[in-house]
Structure 1
Amino acid sequence: MGPTRKRDLLGAAVVVAIAGYLVVLGAYRWFPPITLLTGISLLLVAAAEFGWAFHVRAKIAEGEIGDARGWLHPLSVARSVTVAKASAWVGAVMLGWWVGVLAFVLPRRGGLRVAAADTPGVIVAAVSALALVIAALWLQHCCKSPHEPPEDPEGVLE
């Protein structure tokens, strides 16, 4: 399993943003109100992943990986990488969705009261999704062994 590539996440976010805009274009009148709390769950997951990333990073730096009491089990690190990869993809898809919704509501907020009321909630949700992507990539980075070679020394993958 290789590292999650940022360009793949960006591609997914762009595709979902375009599709999301088209969905919103046709179905916005049936949407429930978008409040400031709409995207907060993504922000909570991002905060948890940031915290876990710093914990994992500290344990790896101290060499406290193994079965000893108070040490971090290697399977926990492997599971953390899996969670980080999944979270990065969820965050990218949700970021694309909220960018698509934002592209719809921003130009219409002057003439459509509902769009004006939804704009702050959409912005919070988009920022929360971006925070999840960043936290997931940071967690994935923190799970690397200190003895691992660089991901792409010759720049072949970028």
Structure 2
Amino acid sequence: MSDEHGPGPSLRPTAPSTLAVVGLAGAALTLLLVARYYQDFPNLSGYNSLVIFALTALLAWLAWSTRRTLRPSDRRVREGAGGAPGRLDGPEHALQIARFAVLAKAAAIAGAAFFGAYLGFTVWLTIQSERLTAAADDLSAAVIGTIACASLTAAAIWLEHSCRIPPQDDDQDAEHPTRP
């Protein structure tokens, strides 16, 4: 009873367990590498965190605008300014939402991996900061990087959630939209 073209494409939401495993793997790998090769690492810079915060802002804006497009407020729907929730005006909009969903999934996984890496770095630097002056100097940049990566992961999850199209009821009038 399968379709002759096979099952349709699907993109499942990123599981929290996936993010946890990726983050823990990043932390473990970083702890191992930093413990062995810290003297060969370049100094941590705050500029890396600025780039991550900029990506976070971009993903948050995409999430906000996508959510606004797919779920117009009740007031806008009542006044006729917005369409029914979840109605896309053409295939180009559906493709754009699908691209945002893929971007969000990739950013969530990358953010979790870098969060783990920065967290492993932060843990090691915290332990070594009393013994090594360079570790004490790098600690603030590592903490800021950890926060930046956590915010990137959160913004990516928000974008992924915003890309979900609300269920549609074809029998319902546009005057009485369903509430998501």
TM-score, normalised via structure 1 length: 0.86
1:89 corresponds to 2:89? no
In the alignment, structure 1 residue 20 sits paired with structure 2 residue 43: no
Alignment of 1:92-131 (within 5 A): 92-131=112-151
- 1:101 is paired with a residue of what secondary structure? helix
Displaced runs of 4+ in structure 1, greater than 3 A? none
Given that residues 35 and 120 in structure 1 are in contact (C-alpha distance below 8 angstroms), is that contact kept between their aligned partners in structure 2?
A: no
1:19 Cα deviation (Å)?
1.1
Q: How many residues align?
A: 145
2:60 alignment counterpart = 50
Residue in structure 1 matched with residue 75 of structure 2 by the alignment: none
Tell which structure's C-alpha radius of gyration is larger.
2
1:114, CA displacement in angstroms? 0.4
1:144 aligns with 2:164: yes
Letter of the 1:58 counterpart: R
Cα shift readout 1:43-71 (whole Å, capped 9, x = no counterpart)? 11111000110000001113462239xxx
Which residue type is aligned with residue 114 of structure 1? A
Per the TM alignment, residue 35 of structure 1 is displaced from its structure 2 partner at its CA by 2.2
Q: 1:35 corresponds to which residue?
A: 45
Which sections of structure 2, spanning at least 5 residues, go unmatched?
1-10, 73-84, 169-180
TM-score by length of 2: 0.76
Which residue of structure 2 lines up, in the alignment, with residue 60 of structure 1? Answer: 70
Residues in 2 aligned to 1:15 and 1:24: alpha-carbon distance in whole angstroms = 14
CA distance, structure 2, for counterparts of residue 5 and residue 40 of structure 1: 27
Distance of 1:33 and 1:16 partners within structure 2: 19
- Offset, 1:38: 2.5
Partner amino acid, structure 2, of 1:53: A
Per-residue deviation, residues 9-63 of structure 1 (Å, max 9, x unmatched): 1111111101110000000001111122232211111110001100000011134
Instruction: Could you tell me which runs of 5 or more consecutive residues in structure 1 were left unpaired when the two chains were aligned.
Output: 149-158
Q: Percent identity?
A: 25
Cα distance in structure 2, aligned partners of 1:36 and 1:109? 18
- Residue type matched to 2:152 in 1? L
Shift of the alpha carbon at 1:79? Answer: 0.4
SS at match of 2:46: coil
- Is contact 1:40–1:124 with CA below 8 Å preserved after alignment? no
Report the Cα distance in structure 2 between the residues aligned to 1:93 and 1:141, rounded to whole angstroms. 20
Distance 2:88 2:66 in 1: 9
